[in-house]
């Protein structure tokens, strides 16, 4: 029996990840802030897939809450086989003149939580010689697109740096780099979705199914969607001044 812990588990890619691993028979530990949504989603998964759904309410910007998730991940009596660091949010504020506390919260969730939870999960996986971590980065990690882009670049490089050493021990660490995906994320962030061309949108089921396939193959980076594979490759090889201009356009 595989046990999967998912942060940001009640919406978007996190919820779809939970559904797909539950559908194959994995038990899940669902982490999010809203207790009511956690309980409702846990019942949905349990009733539909007959798996065990444990809920853990936590605000990852709160160090005490974060510590509780770390403790759950490092508990040798209840081992976690796969950690999906998915929790995150975005915003549309300008850095200059914007709320610095919002920027700090962004880094707390996208960087600090990923760092600490991965650190808590890996030792047990190494001892068992199996399992792994999926860190939700973004194709935005390939451009210069503000604090969000910078944080996601950290997630990708962090995951890539762990991939080789952990693979030698039987553990997979992978960065998932989705593009625009139909979820609640953009509405919450106040992003104008009408400005995004139709061909750029992905559906969460496709993102997750490709991610799970790539994880099973031991990949270091998963980029769902042919259009985003092409865009990420272009951003890797284009001159950086051009990439910066693309990033500037993405922030308008």
Q: What local confidence, expressed as pLDDT, does residue 201 receive?
A: 84
Q: What local confidence, expressed as pLDDT, does residue 90 receive?
A: 80
Q: 216 φ, ψ to 5°?
A: -65, -25
What is the widest separation between alpha-carbon atoms in the chain? 52
55 sits in which H/E element:
strand 53-57
**Is 237 annotated as catalytic?**
no
Rounded CA gap, 161 and 173, in Å? 9
CATH of span 3-250: 3.40.50.720
Beta bridge partners of 174: 134
DSSP-assigned letter for residue 189 = H
Residue of 49, 148, 180, 228 marked active site: 148
Q: What local confidence, expressed as pLDDT, does residue 195 receive?
A: 64
Q: Are 203 and 15 in contact (CB under 8 A)?
A: no
Rounded CA gap, 117 and 69, in Å? 7
Q: What local confidence, expressed as pLDDT, does residue 192 receive?
A: 57
Q: Where do the structural domains in the chain lie, given as residue ranges?
A: 3-250
Q: Pick the closest to residue 235 from 154, 145, 143, 151 (CA basis).
A: 143
Q: What local confidence, expressed as pLDDT, does residue 153 receive?
A: 96
Q: What local confidence, expressed as pLDDT, does residue 65 receive?
A: 98
Q: For every one of its 252 residues, what pLDDT tens digit does the chain have, with 9 covering 90 and above?
A: 799 999 999 999 999 999 999 999 999 999 999 999 999 999 999 999 999 999 999 999 999 999 999 999 999 999 999 999 999 988 778 888 888 999 999 999 999 999 999 999 999 999 999 999 999 999 999 988 789 999 999 999 999 999 999 999 999 999 999 998 887 655 564 555 566 678 778 999 999 999 999 999 999 999 999 999 998 998 887 778 777 776 666 655
Q: Pick the closest to residue 118 from 156, 150, 85 (CA basis).
A: 85
Rounded CA gap, 120 and 141, in Å? 24
Q: Pick the closest to residue 80 from 181, 193, 196, 1 (CA basis).
A: 1
């Amino acid at each position: 029996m595989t046990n999967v812990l998912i942060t940001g588990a009640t919406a978007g890619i996190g919820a779809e990840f939970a559904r797909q691993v539950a559908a194959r028979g994995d038990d899940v530990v669902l982490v999010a802030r809203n207790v009511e949504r956690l309980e409702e989603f846990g019942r949905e998964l349990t009733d539909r897939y007959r798996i065990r759904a444990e809920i853990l309410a936590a605000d990852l910007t709160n160090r005490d809450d974060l510590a509780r998730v770390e403790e759950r991940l490092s508990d040798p009596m209840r081992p976690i086989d796969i950690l999906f660091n998915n929790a995150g949010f975005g915003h549309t504020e300008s850095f200059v003149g914007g709320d610095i506390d919002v920027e700090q919260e962004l880094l707390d969730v996208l960087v600090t939580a990923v760092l600490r939870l991965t650190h808590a999960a890996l030792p047990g996986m190494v001892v068992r010689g199996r399992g792994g971590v999926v860190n939700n980065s973004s194709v935005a990690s390939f451009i210069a697109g503000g604090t969000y882009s910078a944080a996601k670049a950290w997630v990708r490089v962090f995951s890539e740096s762990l991939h080789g050493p952990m693979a030698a021990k039987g553990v997979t660490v992978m960065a998932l780099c989705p593009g625009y995906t139909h979820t609640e994320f953009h509405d919450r962030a106040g992003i104008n979705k009408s400005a995004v061309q139709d061909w750029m949108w992905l559906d969460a089921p496709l993102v997750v199914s490709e991610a799970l396939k790539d994880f099973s193959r031991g990949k270091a980076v998963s980029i769902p969607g042919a259009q985003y594979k092409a865009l990420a490759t272009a951003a890797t090889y284009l001159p950086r001044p051009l990439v910066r201009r693309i990033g500037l356009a993405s922030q308008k």
